[in-house]
Amino acid sequence: MGTADETGSLCYGEVFVQYSANIDHPQAEKKILEGPVVIAKNPCFHPGDLRKFMAVNKPQLKHMIDCVVFPTQGPRPHPDEMSGSDLDGDMYFVCWHNQLLPPGENKEPMNYEPKPKQVLTMPVTESDMIDFIGSYIEGDTLGVIANSHLAHADRLERGIFSQECLDLAQMHSDCVDFPKTGVPVKITAKLRPTEYPHYMLKRDKVSYGSKHVIGNLYDQCHSIMSNRVEHLHDLEKRCDESFLIPGYEDYLELAKTIHNYYRRNIVRLMDEYGVSTEAEIVTGHIITLKKQRRGTLQREHVEIAEIISSRLKAIKARVKEMFFQAVDGQVG
């Protein structure tokens, strides 16, 4: 958590970080960072949101533990340079690993000065509140802007330094301030991506295989998750031989291809929602879900089960379609 240096001992560009060496035993063994560090805060869209500082040891601040202390001196508060942050409980990412420190100097931070608020010259009525809530729902484009920024950053040669990403970073900041300013933000058609990297799982959009670091990390994680599920066995070993008829060998490779498609998609569905078994997917009786997805209310659990059921229907429909196409092709 970020906090301010009330002693005035830190200079502009410096921070004080003292952390517990063992997170299971806070403050039992403490370490004070000294040297270059990089600090960021979520959201982090603009190139200037990721900033390097010099961590220094200040005896006046030795009572500050497990937090990052920012200086109160300088032309602009450092937290404000990072996504327009402040010190009202904001959490920061602090890293001192040499290989993860970005090269070069800090980029110019974005101006996070909010747009002027819309001022009403008349008493607020119930109708005004209804209109505001309606416009808030209509103008809630944070997710669309964030996804567009990620897609452009992955696809465009200049990445986050492209004009598209810079424009989206400003739009995201304005959209965050919308509830305070009343100024809606609409993303233009030009800034909407035409294709998305595969790790964003936009199955209803044009997708491509990303070779960037996030794409590589996604592929590695996905391969690890897939290894948790039993490997595919030969179809001959998994099926009841009493169902086999003469000439089934002609269809064996096609059956394996269809079976592999079904297994891949069921495993993906299980991984996406944290479902443990195929039986839960097929029956719709979900025992456990990923805790980080939504709340634990019964209605939310039911909604996810309905989504899984809908996805399963689509998988089964595709498997059926593949079957008839394969059989017709063989017969023809």
Tell me the pLDDT tens digit for each residue of 247-268.
888 888 888 889 889 988 998 8
- pLDDT recorded at residue 242: 83
CA distance linking residue 202 with residue 200, whole number of Å: 6
In a domain, 217, yes or no: no
CA 71, chain centre distance (Å): 31
- pLDDT recorded at residue 307: 87
Residues 21, 73 contacting (CB under 8 angstroms): no
Q: Are residues 83 and 139 in the same domain?
A: no
- pLDDT recorded at residue 215: 92
Total structural domains within the chain: 3
Does 295 have pLDDT greater than 50?
no
- pLDDT recorded at residue 235: 39
Q: Are residues 187 and 281 in the same domain?
A: no
In a domain, 144, yes or no: yes
Does 281 have pLDDT greater than 80?
yes
In a domain, 124, yes or no: no
Which residue, chain included where needed, has tokens 């089964």?
316
Q: Are residues 40 and 85 in the same domain?
A: yes
- pLDDT recorded at residue 128: 83
- Could you read off the pLDDT of 12-53 as tens digits, one per residue? 999 999 999 888 888 888 999 999 999 999 889 999 999 999
Q: Are residues 12 and 79 in the same domain?
A: yes
Q: Which residue has the higher pLDDT, 9 or 296?
A: 9
Q: Are residues 37 and 86 in the same domain?
A: yes
- pLDDT recorded at residue 5: 95
- In 210-250, alpha helices (H): 213-227, 235-238
Which tokens in the block code for residue 64?
């500050």
In a domain, 223, yes or no: no
CB-neighbour burial class of residue 132 (10 A; exposed 0-12, middle 13-18, buried 19+): middle
Domain that holds residue 150: 131-194
Does 234 have pLDDT greater than 60?
no
Give the model's confidence band at 225: pLDDT under 50 very low, under 70 low, under 90 confident, else very high.
low
- pLDDT recorded at residue 49: 94
What's the average model confidence in pLDDT over 229-235?
Answer: 43
- Could you read off the pLDDT of 202-215 as tens digits, one per residue? 877 888 999 999 99
Whether the full predicted model's pTM is greater than 0.85, yes or no, is no
Does 293 have pLDDT greater than 60?
no
β partners of residue 225: none
Q: Are residues 322 and 275 in the same domain?
A: yes
pLDDT cut 70: percent of the chain above it: 89
- Could you read off the pLDDT of 88-125 as tens digits, one per residue? 889 999 999 999 998 899 999 998 887 777 777 788 88
- pLDDT recorded at residue 34: 95
The one-character DSSP state at 87 is S
Q: Which residue has the higher pLDDT, 54 or 252?
A: 54
In a domain, 90, yes or no: yes
- pLDDT recorded at residue 8: 93
In a domain, 125, yes or no: no
Arithmetic mean of pLDDT over the chain: 85
CA distance linking residue 197 with residue 215, whole number of Å: 8
Q: Are residues 233 and 327 in the same domain?
A: yes
Which tokens in the block code for residue 66?
């497990």
- pLDDT recorded at residue 279: 86
